[in-house]
Amino acid sequence: CRSLAEEVTAKILNRLNRPVIATSEERLLPGAEDYPHSAADLKHRCQGIADRLGYTPAQIRAAWELHGARTETALTAHPASGVLAGVDLPLALARYAIRAEWARTLDDLVERRLMLLYHHRLGEETLRQLAQILVEEGTISPDQAAAQVQACVSRLQTHFGKQVRTNS
């Protein structure tokens, strides 16, 4: 994304006869700030977050893969208890994706924000749970939830060859 943004910006600035005065080449990716230096440091950091927030280290590690050093911030910004069925990802990350990252559809949550497209245990129960959170957040209406679940299952199969488990 960064490379694409820089390329597009350079082309636009060139057309406007303006110079590129800065790039993001040296800027850390979000979540890379204060990143642990070793696997042991990372394990210790995840354990500390798990202890403070009441999650398992595995659940924190799954969240860490999405948010890096910003994991604790993401989990506490919009607290929600529990985890997503079948995938053990904290529910708070779904609420964070909706409120802070502007996820508006089930497809967006599954494919981009929570990266569940790649989770081998993704099931319809998980999708229904996410659709319900979208309803609770006022992003979709209750009558859209079931249709979004079915459309997501179909899209994952058609576009990515992903089989969604029927029971999680």
Residue 101 CB partners (closer than 8 Å, separation 6+) = 113
Please give the Cα distance from 86 to 146 (Å, whole number): 19
Question: What is the reported pLDDT for 168?
Answer: 44
Tens-digit pLDDT profile for residues 42-58: 999 999 999 999 999 99
Full-model pTM: 0.80
Task: Assign 165 to helix, strand or coil.
Answer: strand
Tens-digit pLDDT profile for residues 104-134: 999 999 999 999 999 999 999 999 999 999 9
> pLDDT truncated to tens, each residue of the chain (168 aa)?
678 888 899 899 999 999 988 877 776 566 667 777 799 999 999 999 999 999 999 999 999 999 999 999 999 987 778 899 999 899 999 999 999 999 999 999 999 999 999 999 999 999 999 999 999 999 999 999 999 999 999 999 999 999 999 864
Question: What is the reported pLDDT for 134?
Answer: 97
Is residue 73 a contact partner of residue 88, using CB atoms and an 8 Å limit?
Answer: no
